[in-house]
C-alpha cells in the first residue's frame, strides 16, 4: 500500500506540471519576469498532518528573456521533481521531468536521494500555433507510454478541436464560440460524456465555468472575481471529482455531493502573483508566497 501511494504521488507531481492550459482560471503567476533569474515559492500549511512554515515548495530558474530553464518541486528542502525546459526558435519544444524515489536507507537524509526519469512532453508548432503535444511516460509505473494530443484552430485562431489518443482510446474536445460564451463538448470514444460552458465579461475575463454530464448533472462549477487591473483575485470552486471524460481525477466522497475550494491571489507591482492562498472546507489552508530574485 505504501509503494502504491508513492507511485500515485509521483504521477501527480510530474503530470500536474504537464497539464494543457487551453482555457484556464489559474493566473500565470509569472506575468513579467524578464530580468528575473530565480523564483522561490514558500508555503505555510495549517494542516496538522503536514506542518510547514515558510518551507520552499517550488524553485524556478529563468533565462533573461523570461523563459524557464529548470524548475523543482521541493519537500523539506529536497527535490521531489525536476523539470528541464528546452526551446526552439523561442518556443517551448520539450519538458523532461525526473522524480525522486525513496531509497532503501531509513536515513531521512537519503530518503529522496535519487532522481529517476519519469516523463517527457514534446511540442510541435505550425505557424506559431501549437498543433501537437506528445507526452511519454519514461518510468515503469504505467503500461501506457504515450499520449498524443492534436490541436486544430478556426479562422480566428481560436482552438477548435483537441483529439487525444493513447494506447487504448481516442477522446476529443470540440470548442464552439458565441459572443462571450465558449462551449466545450467532451467525447470519449465518440460518446458525449460532458459539456462545459465558459462565460466571459465584456473585458474578456472568465467569470464562470460550469461542467455538466450529458444528463445535466453538474460536475464542477467555478466563479471568479477580478480587481480593477483585470487580475484574478478570487476563485471559488465546487466539484464532485469527475472530469468531462467521465474520469475520476479529484477527491470523491459518495456521501458528499461536492467538495468546495476557495482561492485568493494578490500581486506585486510588476503584476506577478505575490501571495496565493487556498482555503479548504475543513477550515485548513495553504498559503504560498512568491519571491523574485534578480
Same domain as 159, residue 212: no
Q: 187 in a domain, yes or no?
A: no
Q: 195 in a domain, yes or no?
A: no
Domain boundary among 147, 168, 189: 168
* Block residue for cell numbers 515558510: 54
Same domain as 229, residue 137: no
Same domain as 238, residue 151: no
Q: 193 in a domain, yes or no?
A: no
Alpha-carbon gap, residue 234 to 237, rounded angstroms: 10
Residues 27/34, Cβ–Cβ less than 8 Å:
no
The domain of 205 spans: 200-294
- Can you give the pLDDT at residue 44? 84
Same domain as 214, residue 149: no
| Element housing 203 (H / E) | none
238-266 in b/e form (b: 16+ CB < 10 A) is bbbbbbbbeeeeeeeeeeeeebebebbbe
Same domain as 141, residue 210: no
pTM of this structure: 0.82
Same domain as 7, residue 65: yes
pLDDT (tens digit, 9 = 90+) per residue, 252-280?
Answer: 666 678 889 999 999 999 889 999 999 98
Q: 183 in a domain, yes or no?
A: no
Same domain as 224, residue 140: no
How many Cα atoms are found within 13 Å in the side-chain-facing hemisphere of 125? 11
- Can you give the pLDDT at residue 255? 67
> How many separate domains does the chain show?
2
Residue 21, CA distances (Å) to 16, 79, 102, 133, 257 in order: 11, 25, 31, 12, 26
Domain boundary among 153, 168, 183: 168
Residue 224, CA distances (Å) to 27, 227, 265, 277, 281 in order: 11, 11, 11, 14, 18
- C-alpha of 259 from chain center: 19
Same domain as 214, residue 162: no
Residues 218/195, Cβ–Cβ less than 8 Å:
no
Same domain as 164, residue 235: no
Alpha-carbon gap, residue 165 to 157, rounded angstroms: 23
Same domain as 209, residue 154: no
- Can you give the pLDDT at residue 21? 36
For each of the chain's 294 residues, which pLDDT tens digit applies?
A: 434 434 444 444 454 433 333 344 455 556 677 778 999 999 887 765 555 678 888 999 998 788 889 999 988 777 888 999 999 988 999 999 988 765 544 444 544 556 788 889 999 999 889 999 999 988 766 566 899 999 999 999 999 999 999 888 999 999 999 999 999 999 999 999 999 999 999 998 999 999 999 999 999 999 999 999 999 999 999 998 889 999 988 776 666 788 899 999 999 998 899 999 999 887 788 899 999 998
Q: 188 in a domain, yes or no?
A: no
- Can you give the pLDDT at residue 33? 75
Q: 178 in a domain, yes or no?
A: no
Same domain as 158, residue 54: yes
Q: 157 in a domain, yes or no?
A: yes
CATH number, residue 257 = 2.40.128
Domain boundary among 119, 151, 168: 168
Same domain as 157, residue 45: yes
Residues 29/272, Cβ–Cβ less than 8 Å:
yes
Give 164's contacts (C-beta < 8 A, 6+ positions apart): 147, 148, 149, 170, 171, 172, 173
Q: 69 in a domain, yes or no?
A: yes
- Can you give the pLDDT at residue 142? 58
- Can you give the pLDDT at residue 291? 93
- C-alpha of 243 from chain center: 14
Alpha-carbon gap, residue 286 to 68, rounded angstroms: 25
Amino acid at each position: 500500500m505504501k509503494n502504491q501511494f508513492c507511485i500515485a504521488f509521483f504521477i501527480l507531481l510530474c503530470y500536474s506540471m504537464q497539464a494543457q492550459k487551453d482555457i484556464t482560471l489559474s493566473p500565470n503567476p509569472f506575468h513579467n519576469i524578464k530580468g528575473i533569474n530565480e523564483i522561490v515559492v514558500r508555503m505555510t500549511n495549517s494542516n496538522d498532518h503536514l506542518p510547514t512554515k515558510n518551507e520552499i515548495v517550488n524553485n524556478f530558474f529563468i533565462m533573461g528573456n523570461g523563459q524557464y530553464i529548470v524548475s523543482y518541486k521541493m519537500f523539506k528542502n529536497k527535490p521531489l521533481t525536476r523539470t528541464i525546459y528546452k526551446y526552439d526558435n523561442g518556443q517551448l519544444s520539450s519538458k523532461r521531468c525526473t522524480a525522486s524515489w525513496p531509497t532503501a536507507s531509513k536515513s531521512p537524509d537519503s530518503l529522496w536521494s535519487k532522481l529517476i526519469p519519469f516523463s517527457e512532453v514534446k511540442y510541435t508548432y505550425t505557424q506559431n500555433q501549437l498543433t501537437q503535444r506528445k507526452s511519454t511516460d519514461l518510468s515503469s509505473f504505467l503500461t501506457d507510454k504515450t499520449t498524443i494530443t492534436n490541436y486544430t484552430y478556426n479562422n480566428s485562431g481560436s482552438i477548435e478541436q483537441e483529439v487525444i489518443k493513447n494506447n487504448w482510446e481516442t477522446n476529443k474536445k470540440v470548442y464552439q464560440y458565441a459572443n462571450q460564451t465558449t462551449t466545450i463538448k467532451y467525447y470519449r470514444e465518440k460518446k458525449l460524456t460532458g459539456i462545459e460552458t465558459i462565460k466571459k465579461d465584456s473585458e474578456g475575463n472568465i467569470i464562470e465555468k460550469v461542467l455538466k454530464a450529458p444528463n445535466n448533472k453538474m460536475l464542477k462549477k467555478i466563479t471568479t472575481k477580478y480587481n480593477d487591473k483585470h487580475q484574478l483575485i478570487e476563485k471559488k470552486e465546487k466539484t464532485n471529482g469527475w472530469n468531462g471524460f467521465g474520469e475520476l481525477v479529484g477527491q470523491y466522497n459518495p456521501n458528499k455531493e461536492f467538495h468546495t475550494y476557495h482561492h485568493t491571489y494578490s500581486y506585486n507591482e510588476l503584476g506577478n502573483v505575490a501571495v496565493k492562498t487556498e482555503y479548504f472546507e475543513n477550515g485548513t489552508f495553504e498559503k504560498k508566497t512568491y519571491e523574485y530574485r534578480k
